[in-house]
Amino acid sequence: MNLKTKVILAIETSCDDTSMAIIKNDQVIANCTISSINEQAKYGGIVPEVASRNHIKVIDKVFKKTLKQAKIDISEITDIAYTSEPGLPGSLHVGKVFAKMLAKLLNVNLIKVNHLYGHIYSASANCHYEYLFLALIVSGGHTSIYLVKSIREIELINETNDDAVGEALDKIGRMLSLDYPGGISIDNLYNSQKNNLNLLPHQSSNSQFSFSGIKTATLNMINSLKMKNEIVDKELIASSCLKWIIDDIINKLNYYIDKYQPAMLVLGGGVSANKLLREEVNKLKIKIVLPPIEYTGDNAVMIGLFANELIKYSK
């Protein structure tokens, strides 16, 4: 093997997906995930104990499948990257122990990666990142805007005061008895001709994100319709909620684009798969970088891509 060949094994276990990937000389050559989402769906949300047990159950299998997919031998691995934070403590622990043991056994470099920074770099396999840029990370656990000056200078400039976007969508989905996860159901139900319910006034563009208000307004609306024996139009309510949320995000992005004049805007996280969000950010007057749909949710590829950029930057 060429001495300069870099073979990064990436491990992501922060929530309910056990995921591994291999990045060899800047190319993603393997990507394997086993999710416990079907099990979690029975409970209508993530149960931490179920998630960590599942990681323990499948981590060896995922590792073997990943090596097989990459057609490499274990001895070819030069670096191991793993998600160190944030996430469910029990789930993170499983990935960390696996990564540390393997790095010791193979005597290779160990790289800790912040899960959210991974999301920021989830589109970097196919796109050259230009600094300084803004990153919007929208998932089930986080809603944040970062100002990225370099891979080592990532500044958090806005985050939610309460619910994350995905969390709010999932809860609204549950109120409307839609399939779990609500975010995907609401995306599929969205109708642009039925999105004009006046649920809640908008917040100012420079305020912190907050989604508990729209959640409560929706619950009040559903309860009042039920009390009056009126029809709960799921499509109208879901579409109006989603429109309110996306409008709020776009207002804030516009504020930060004016303020920082970034070279581009990168999206990441499960909610960045949302069709309305993708449509609306594409109208902004700035270069937009969207991850491929398969890398929007949690995955180890993004952890490997971040580690890959970090190694290049440190050289």
> Which residues contact Zn ion (rule: CB under 5 A)?
139, 298
Q: Is 218 in the site for ligand KG4 (CB under 6 A)?
A: no
Q: 124 contacts which partner out of ligand KG4, Zn ion, none, CB within 5 to 8 A by kind?
A: none
Non-local (6+) Cβ contacts of 284 within 8 A are 250, 253, 254, 257, 265
CB burial of 134-145 (b: ≥16 within 10 Å; e: otherwise) equals bbbbbbbbbbbb
> CA-to-CA distance for 99 and 83, rounded, in angstroms?
9
- Please, what is the minimum distance in Å from the beta carbon of residue 269 to Zn ion? 6
- Please, what is the minimum distance in Å from the beta carbon of residue 107 to ligand KG4? 32
> CA-to-CA distance for 245 and 13, rounded, in angstroms?
28
For every residue of 83-123, DSSP letters joined together read EEESS-HHHHHHHHHHHHHHHHHHT-EEEEEEHHHHHHTTT
Element (H, E) at 212: helix 212-227
- Please, what is the minimum distance in Å from the beta carbon of residue 46 to Zn ion? 12
Q: Is 95 in the site for ligand KG4 (CB under 6 A)?
A: no
Q: Is 271 in the site for ligand KG4 (CB under 6 A)?
A: yes
Q: Is 298 in the site for ligand KG4 (CB under 6 A)?
A: yes
> CA-to-CA distance for 303 and 292, rounded, in angstroms?
15
Q: Can you list the pairs that 150-153 forms with residues at least 24 positions away whose Cβ atoms lie under 8 Å?
A: 150/313, 151/121, 151/306, 151/309, 151/310, 151/313, 152/310, 152/313
Q: Is 304 in the site for ligand KG4 (CB under 6 A)?
A: no
Tokens 């937009």 sit on residue: 288
Q: 271 contacts which partner out of Zn ion, ligand KG4, none, CB within 5 to 8 A by kind?
A: ligand KG4
Q: Rank residues 81 and 189 by Cβ distance to ligand KG4 and give the closer one.
A: 189
Tokens 């950029």 sit on residue: 309
- Please, what is the minimum distance in Å from the beta carbon of residue 115 to Zn ion? 6
Q: Rank residues 80 and 273 by Cβ distance to ligand KG4 and give the closer one.
A: 273
Binder among 10, 22, 197, 273 for ligand KG4 (CB under 6 A): 273
Q: Rank residues 180 and 260 by Cβ distance to ligand KG4 and give the closer one.
A: 180
Element (H, E) at 48: helix 48-70
Q: Is 141 in the site for ligand KG4 (CB under 6 A)?
A: yes
- Please, what is the minimum distance in Å from the beta carbon of residue 163 to Zn ion? 15
Letters for 55-84 (x = contact with ligand KG4 by CB under 6 A, - = none) are ------------------------------
Please report, as ranges, the residues that interact with ligand KG4 according to CB under 6 A.
15, 139-141, 166, 169-170, 181-184, 187, 269-271, 273-274, 297-298
